[in-house]
Structure 1
Amino acid sequence: MSVTGVWAVGTVSDRTLDELLRAAVRASPPVPGPSYVHVPEGLAWWRGKGTESLFSASTDSPGAWVAGEDAFRLSAFFDSCYDDSEPVEALGDAVMGAFPPEGDEGLFAAVTRKAGPFSALAYALGPEAAQLLPGWFGDFLLRADEVRARLPEAEEALALTGPRRRDVVERIDQWMTALGDSPDHDAEELLDGPLRVLHHAARTGLGAAGVVRWY
């Protein structure tokens, strides 16, 4: 059975964020969440790989890529950091329901069969730059003041030009086509879209949220 990965980033008012969080706590009082004791070890392994490519050019299909063993290991690590508990997914649904409509400047969404868009971006950026992004592996809730505070780090990670941008775009292509089934993906929009939303939030005094989902 095929799966679809989604990463949505959208603006949301502080008031709405507060209301959603209060409702989530009322519906599901805080309980011990999943254990992430494996994360430091996984991050250390990823840092050891740096920005080396985990894919090789296909010898059968020109322009295609083949995922190496380490690519699958990194993908599994990203997936293991995703909290799919019912309360967290319910909150994610509520947050996405508060996002602006499709086509609005305050919304970015990437959808990929068989691969996670945020995972592709994180791999492409490398461990150091990816950790400049807000939140936990693509999931985040930021009030308006937090958006402004975190914007410089997001710009450092995503506002790329020249050879660095070309390298990151190629690495997104590697992930999306070798691990995923998304030949028509827009690699550059995966860089530009989230930053555009954060800029819009900062200009308009809104908060912002990111939601990673699998369907």
Structure 2
Amino acid sequence: MGFTSAWAISSHTDDTIAELTPHLLPALRADSDHPDARRRWHQWQRAPLPDHHTWHDTDRAAVDSFHALTAPGRHVDDVCAGITDPTFYVVDDVWEGQEQDGIFLSVHRKDYAVTSLFHAIGPTRAALLPGWCGNFLLSAAQARQALPQVEQALTFTPPERALAEARDWLDYAKDEESVLDGPLRVWRTAAESNLGLCGVAVHLG
């Protein structure tokens, strides 16, 4: 069965972040606080998966657990699709009207941007990223405060970059930003512009 997913990090004023909070924050917390989510996170932290090219020889349960961990969460999915709250839809209420320098958007068929990013950078770097598996709401002050950790997670030496690129399996269109580049760019721009950030991973269909 096919699907299309999207992961976006968009920059907003603190007033807009405050408006988004009652819609998104309870759903984010419901996904992150679920016992299965925490179990999967700790499992991946303890036993990172090998290179994805070898997954046919890997414990399938561990691979499935990692996919379930990094796929869009059910509660965030439902609220962003207007199911939980018919007055709210992420495309219209969060992403529409964003200038290019104020958003990173990664859309893929039959794949998940956060899954590929987390596999590419590994659990130690992924643990430095705020929020839960690509989902977060941060005020301008919180985004600035988190920037050093995000830079630590997404800045690479040449050998580290080559390894991360080899482990990022997503296909990109010409001039499309990768998951290794776009998030840090938007984060730095938001910090310079005194803006907050909204990160959301969802199914679009």
Task: Give yes or no for TM over 0.5.
Answer: yes
CA deviation profile, 1:15-61 (whole Å, cap 9, x unmatched): 11112335x39xxx99x9466112332223212333632423xxxxx
* Cα gap change, 1:14 to 1:113, in 2 (>3 Å): same
CA contact (8 A) 2:120 2:167 kept: yes
Count residues with an aligned counterpart: 195
The alignment status of 1:159 with 2:155, answered yes or no, reads: yes
Q: What is the SS of the residue equivalent to 2:5?
A: strand
Q: How does 1:194-213 map to 2 (within 5 A)?
A: 194-213=183-202
Q: Distance in 2 between matches of 1:84 and 1:100?
A: 18
CA deviation profile, 1:177-207 (whole Å, cap 9, x unmatched): xxxxx47588962111111111111001110
Q: What is the SS of the residue equivalent to 1:136?
A: coil
Residue 101 of structure 1, CA deviation? 4.0
Bigger radius of gyration: 1
* Cα gap change, 1:165 to 1:134, in 2 (>3 Å): same
Q: Equivalent residue for 2:108?
A: 112
Q: Equivalent residue for 1:17?
A: 17
CA contact (8 A) 2:72 2:202 kept: no
1:202 maps to a residue whose letter is: A
CA contact (8 A) 2:7 2:199 kept: yes
CA contact (8 A) 2:6 2:112 kept: yes
**Cα RMSD over matched residues?**
3.2
Structure 2: which 5+ runs fail to align?
none
- Equivalent pairs: percent with the same residue? 30
Q: Distance in 1 between matches of 2:3 and 2:179?
A: 19
The alignment status of 1:134 with 2:142, answered yes or no, reads: no
Q: Equivalent residue for 2:8?
A: 8
Residue 80 of structure 1, CA deviation? 7.5
Q: Distance in 2 between matches of 1:5 and 1:94?
A: 13
Deviates more, 1:36-45 or 1:105-114: 36-45
Q: Distance in 1 between matches of 2:67 and 2:175?
A: 20
Q: Distance in 1 between matches of 2:138 and 2:57?
A: 34
Q: Distance in 2 between matches of 1:160 and 1:82?
A: 32
CA deviation profile, 1:152-195 (whole Å, cap 9, x unmatched): 0000001223111111111012xx3xxxxx47588962111111
TM-score scaled by length of structure 1: 0.76
Q: Distance in 2 between matches of 1:187 and 1:50?
A: 28
Residue 99 of structure 1, CA deviation? 3.8
Q: Distance in 1 between matches of 2:187 and 2:124?
A: 20
Q: Equivalent residue for 2:42?
A: 44
CA contact (8 A) 1:110 1:117 kept: yes
Q: Choose between structure 1 and 2: higher helix proportion.
A: 2
